[in-house]
Amino acid sequence: MQAGTRALGNPANAGSGQAARCARVKPRLAAGVLAKHTGIFRKRPPGTPLALIFLLMFTGLVESTGSVIGLESRGEQARLTLAIPFAAELALGDSVAINGCCLTVAELSPQGIAFDLLAQTLRVTSLGALSQGSQVNLERALQVGDRFGGHFVQGHVDATGSITRLAAQGQDHVFEVSLPPAIHRLCIAKGSLAVDGISLTIAELAAASAIFWITPHTWLQTHLHAARVGQPVNLEADMLAKHVDHLLEARLKH
């Protein structure tokens, strides 16, 4: 499945107060509602607002792209400041997937929107390789009533790979990304993989990489048109595959 763009939020479309952005829901209110470690919904307890069930879920359909204003080192951590097209709709504490990594808005200013990167984030993701002017993919958490057109994406990056091929093929582009063994084992041909936050369908699974075909729409609406061979990318394997793998591994040990 190729990435697209979701229409920017329109408060006039909110109904019965349930269309408030899910990322703004206080985490303590969601206690006992979300399935542990998944971030997706389970059976809703009586009286629980529907908005709580979809806390911090993404689809891999890129909403917009932004550009890096600055990446400031702060010891083992860093602060990332971005120019974001929908900045006026954001509030402190909102969650935005940036190249597939779920981050929290830490500061709003005329100079840009700032996010704090923890040491763990810098170790696991490719965000530390960004520089001024870098293009990034952006997606806000789902709102109640949004069409779910990609696949379940949590914004929890599993590992990084690198772009090994990016070439035009007629109107489309062939896109190949190297995969660490731990990610490769969770992938299948025609399965889904989030690459820098883009929900992509694996056209072919090679020995140590995945090959995708990028449509003109995805090419133009994501950061791929500015990407280069050798560039690191964030990878998030399909959540359902990860859970099945974990359950099977635990059973085999017994």
Between CA 107 and CA 113 the distance in angstroms is: 6
Residues 6+ positions from 31 with CB-CB distance below 8 Å: none
Percent of the chain with pLDDT over 90: 65
What's the average model confidence in pLDDT over 162-179? 97
What's the average model confidence in pLDDT over 5-11? 42
- More confident of the two residues 229 and 34: 229
| HEC string for 31-90 | CCCECCCCCCECCCCCCCCHHHHCCCCECCCCCEEEEEEEEEEECCEEEEEEECCCHHHC
Q: What are phi and psi of 177, to 5 degrees?
A: -130, 135
- Ordered structural domains, the chain, with CATH: 159-246 (2.40.30.20)
CA angle 148, 81, 69 (to 5 degrees): 110
pLDDT at 26: 35
Task: Say which range, 49-58, 65-74, 137-146, 159-168, has the weakest mean pLDDT.
Answer: 49-58
State the pTM of this model. Answer: 0.78
Query: What mean pLDDT, rounded, does the chain reach?
Result: 82
pLDDT at 29: 33
Measure Cα distances from 254 to 184, 247, 250, 251 in Å.
Answer: 25, 11, 7, 5
Digit-coded pLDDT (tens) for 34-89: 333 333 333 444 444 444 444 568 989 999 999 999 999 999 999 999 999 999 99
Other CB atoms within 10 Å distance of the CB of residue 134: 18
Residues 6+ positions from 208 with CB-CB distance below 8 Å: 178, 179, 181, 184
What's the average model confidence in pLDDT over 215-239? 96
**Residue 106, pLDDT above cutoff 50:** yes
pLDDT at 2: 55
pLDDT at 190: 95
Write down the residue that tokens 């190949």 correspond to. 176
- More confident of the two residues 123 and 12: 123
Residues 6+ positions from 156 with CB-CB distance below 8 Å: 39, 102, 236
